[in-house]
Amino acid sequence: MWLPREQSALDALPWLESFCEVRIESGDSLEFHVRDPAVLGLPRPRRDRSCAFSLGPESLEDYRELGFPGLGRWPAAELCLLAHCSGKDDHLLLGRLALSLAERFGALIDFGGLLGYRYSLYGVTDEERAVCLARSRGLVASLPGRVWEMPYATGDGVCGYSHVADREFLAAWLGHREFRMIK
Protein backbone atom coordinates (compact mmCIF):
# COMPACT_ATOMS: atom_id res chain seq x y z
CA MET A 1 0.00 0.00 0.00
CA TRP A 2 1.30 3.44 -0.90
CA LEU A 3 0.67 5.84 1.97
CA PRO A 4 0.24 9.61 1.63
CA ARG A 5 2.18 10.20 4.88
CA GLU A 6 4.77 8.39 6.97
CA GLN A 7 3.06 5.63 8.94
CA SER A 8 4.00 2.13 10.03
CA ALA A 9 2.30 -1.21 10.50
CA LEU A 10 2.17 -0.42 14.21
CA ASP A 11 -0.42 2.27 13.40
CA ALA A 12 -2.77 -0.56 12.37
CA LEU A 13 -2.08 -2.62 15.50
CA PRO A 14 -5.09 -1.54 17.65
CA TRP A 15 -7.51 -2.22 14.78
CA LEU A 16 -5.93 -5.58 13.89
CA GLU A 17 -5.91 -6.69 17.54
CA SER A 18 -9.69 -6.23 17.65
CA PHE A 19 -10.21 -9.24 15.34
CA CYS A 20 -6.80 -10.92 14.86
CA GLU A 21 -4.15 -12.77 16.82
CA VAL A 22 -1.17 -10.44 16.30
CA ARG A 23 2.53 -10.86 16.98
CA ILE A 24 4.97 -7.97 16.61
CA GLU A 25 7.99 -9.07 14.59
CA SER A 26 11.34 -7.34 14.20
CA GLY A 27 11.16 -3.61 13.62
CA ASP A 28 7.77 -2.36 12.53
CA SER A 29 6.42 -5.64 11.14
CA LEU A 30 3.39 -7.61 12.27
CA GLU A 31 2.38 -11.21 11.72
CA PHE A 32 -1.24 -12.12 12.33
CA HIS A 33 -4.08 -14.62 11.89
CA VAL A 34 -7.61 -13.36 11.37
CA ARG A 35 -9.79 -14.58 14.24
CA ASP A 36 -13.06 -12.97 13.13
CA PRO A 37 -13.42 -12.43 9.35
CA ALA A 38 -16.95 -11.05 9.92
CA VAL A 39 -15.25 -7.72 10.73
CA LEU A 40 -14.25 -7.69 7.05
CA GLY A 41 -17.68 -8.84 5.85
CA LEU A 42 -16.62 -12.46 5.32
CA PRO A 43 -17.95 -15.75 6.75
CA ARG A 44 -15.92 -17.84 9.17
CA PRO A 45 -13.28 -19.94 7.38
CA ARG A 46 -13.83 -23.66 6.89
CA ARG A 47 -10.64 -24.46 8.77
CA ASP A 48 -9.69 -23.88 12.39
CA ARG A 49 -7.15 -21.15 11.81
CA SER A 50 -6.75 -18.62 9.03
CA CYS A 51 -3.71 -18.19 6.89
CA ALA A 52 -0.84 -16.19 8.38
CA PHE A 53 -0.53 -12.62 7.14
CA SER A 54 2.30 -10.11 7.45
CA LEU A 55 2.21 -6.33 7.37
CA GLY A 56 5.43 -4.37 7.34
CA PRO A 57 7.51 -1.66 5.70
CA GLU A 58 8.58 -1.90 2.07
CA SER A 59 10.98 0.24 0.07
CA LEU A 60 9.79 2.46 -2.76
CA GLU A 61 13.31 2.73 -4.23
CA ASP A 62 12.65 0.55 -7.30
CA TYR A 63 9.81 2.90 -8.24
CA ARG A 64 11.64 6.13 -7.39
CA GLU A 65 14.26 5.38 -10.06
CA LEU A 66 11.62 5.64 -12.79
CA GLY A 67 9.32 8.13 -11.10
CA PHE A 68 5.63 7.74 -10.46
CA PRO A 69 4.02 8.58 -13.83
CA GLY A 70 0.52 9.95 -13.48
CA LEU A 71 0.57 10.42 -9.72
CA GLY A 72 0.14 14.01 -8.63
CA ARG A 73 2.05 13.34 -5.43
CA TRP A 74 4.60 10.65 -4.68
CA PRO A 75 3.84 8.28 -1.80
CA ALA A 76 5.58 9.00 1.49
CA ALA A 77 5.82 5.35 2.56
CA GLU A 78 4.86 1.83 1.55
CA LEU A 79 3.48 -1.00 3.64
CA CYS A 80 3.49 -4.53 2.28
CA LEU A 81 0.62 -6.86 3.16
CA LEU A 82 1.33 -10.54 2.45
CA ALA A 83 -0.58 -13.80 2.78
CA HIS A 84 1.49 -16.88 3.55
CA CYS A 85 -0.87 -19.24 1.71
CA SER A 86 -2.69 -19.18 -1.59
CA GLY A 87 -6.21 -20.61 -1.47
CA LYS A 88 -9.21 -18.83 -2.97
CA ASP A 89 -10.48 -17.85 0.49
CA ASP A 90 -7.00 -16.55 1.38
CA HIS A 91 -6.97 -14.29 -1.69
CA LEU A 92 -10.38 -12.90 -0.74
CA LEU A 93 -9.30 -12.33 2.86
CA LEU A 94 -6.10 -10.63 1.66
CA GLY A 95 -8.13 -8.39 -0.65
CA ARG A 96 -10.57 -7.41 2.11
CA LEU A 97 -7.70 -6.71 4.51
CA ALA A 98 -6.00 -4.57 1.85
CA LEU A 99 -9.20 -2.61 1.21
CA SER A 100 -9.84 -2.00 4.91
CA LEU A 101 -6.24 -0.98 5.58
CA ALA A 102 -6.19 1.28 2.50
CA GLU A 103 -9.34 3.00 3.77
CA ARG A 104 -7.76 3.48 7.23
CA PHE A 105 -4.50 4.85 5.83
CA GLY A 106 -5.93 6.76 2.82
CA ALA A 107 -3.63 4.59 0.71
CA LEU A 108 -3.38 3.37 -2.84
CA ILE A 109 -3.00 -0.38 -3.36
CA ASP A 110 0.16 -1.68 -5.07
CA PHE A 111 -0.72 -5.11 -6.45
CA GLY A 112 2.93 -6.09 -6.86
CA GLY A 113 2.52 -6.99 -10.52
CA LEU A 114 0.13 -6.87 -13.43
CA LEU A 115 -3.46 -7.95 -12.84
CA GLY A 116 -4.75 -10.57 -15.24
CA TYR A 117 -1.26 -11.98 -15.80
CA ARG A 118 0.03 -14.55 -13.33
CA TYR A 119 3.71 -14.57 -14.20
CA SER A 120 6.67 -12.23 -14.39
CA LEU A 121 7.37 -10.63 -17.75
CA TYR A 122 11.02 -11.51 -17.21
CA GLY A 123 12.43 -13.47 -20.12
CA VAL A 124 9.42 -13.11 -22.43
CA THR A 125 9.80 -11.83 -25.97
CA ASP A 126 8.75 -8.30 -26.87
CA GLU A 127 5.76 -9.75 -28.72
CA GLU A 128 4.66 -11.82 -25.70
CA ARG A 129 5.14 -8.79 -23.47
CA ALA A 130 2.90 -6.68 -25.74
CA VAL A 131 0.15 -9.35 -25.69
CA CYS A 132 0.32 -9.65 -21.88
CA LEU A 133 0.25 -5.89 -21.38
CA ALA A 134 -2.71 -5.47 -23.78
CA ARG A 135 -4.72 -8.18 -22.01
CA SER A 136 -3.93 -6.75 -18.59
CA ARG A 137 -4.77 -3.21 -19.68
CA GLY A 138 -8.10 -4.39 -21.09
CA LEU A 139 -8.97 -6.09 -17.82
CA VAL A 140 -8.27 -3.09 -15.59
CA ALA A 141 -10.02 -0.72 -18.01
CA SER A 142 -13.22 -2.79 -17.65
CA LEU A 143 -13.57 -1.92 -13.95
CA PRO A 144 -14.44 1.35 -12.18
CA GLY A 145 -11.87 3.27 -10.21
CA ARG A 146 -8.43 4.51 -11.06
CA VAL A 147 -5.43 2.34 -11.96
CA TRP A 148 -1.86 3.32 -12.73
CA GLU A 149 0.60 1.04 -14.51
CA MET A 150 3.80 1.81 -12.65
CA PRO A 151 7.19 0.97 -14.08
CA TYR A 152 9.90 -0.18 -11.71
CA ALA A 153 13.55 -1.05 -12.10
CA THR A 154 14.54 -4.67 -11.57
CA GLY A 155 17.95 -5.84 -10.41
CA ASP A 156 18.92 -6.96 -13.90
CA GLY A 157 18.03 -3.65 -15.55
CA VAL A 158 14.73 -4.84 -17.01
CA CYS A 159 11.68 -2.63 -16.57
CA GLY A 160 8.88 -4.36 -14.69
CA TYR A 161 5.32 -3.14 -14.18
CA SER A 162 2.89 -3.17 -11.31
CA HIS A 163 -0.70 -2.05 -11.10
CA VAL A 164 -1.43 0.50 -8.40
CA ALA A 165 -5.08 1.33 -7.82
CA ASP A 166 -7.48 3.30 -5.69
CA ARG A 167 -9.94 1.78 -3.26
CA GLU A 168 -12.87 2.01 -5.68
CA PHE A 169 -11.00 -0.22 -8.12
CA LEU A 170 -10.07 -2.78 -5.44
CA ALA A 171 -13.70 -2.93 -4.25
CA ALA A 172 -14.80 -3.73 -7.83
CA TRP A 173 -11.89 -6.15 -8.39
CA LEU A 174 -12.97 -8.14 -5.30
CA GLY A 175 -16.21 -9.04 -7.12
CA HIS A 176 -14.68 -9.80 -10.53
CA ARG A 177 -14.70 -13.40 -11.82
CA GLU A 178 -10.91 -13.30 -12.38
CA PHE A 179 -10.22 -11.84 -8.94
CA ARG A 180 -6.99 -12.82 -7.25
CA MET A 181 -4.35 -10.92 -5.35
CA ILE A 182 -0.75 -11.05 -6.45
CA LYS A 183 1.36 -12.35 -3.59
Q: Is residue 183 part of a domain?
A: no
12-52 tens-digit pLDDT: 999 999 999 999 998 889 999 999 999 999 887 666 667 89
More confident residue, 63 or 59: 59
Per-residue pLDDT band for 64 (boundaries 50, 70, 90) equals confident
Q: Is residue 180 part of a domain?
A: no
Q: Is residue 29 part of a domain?
A: yes
Range of the domain at 69: 2-174
> What local confidence, expressed as pLDDT, does residue 130 receive?
87
Q: Is residue 47 part of a domain?
A: yes
Number of separate domains in the chain:
1
Q: Which pairs from 40-46 meet CB under 8 Å and 24+ separation?
A: 40/93, 40/96, 40/97, 40/100, 41/96, 42/92, 42/93, 42/96, 45/89, 45/93, 46/89
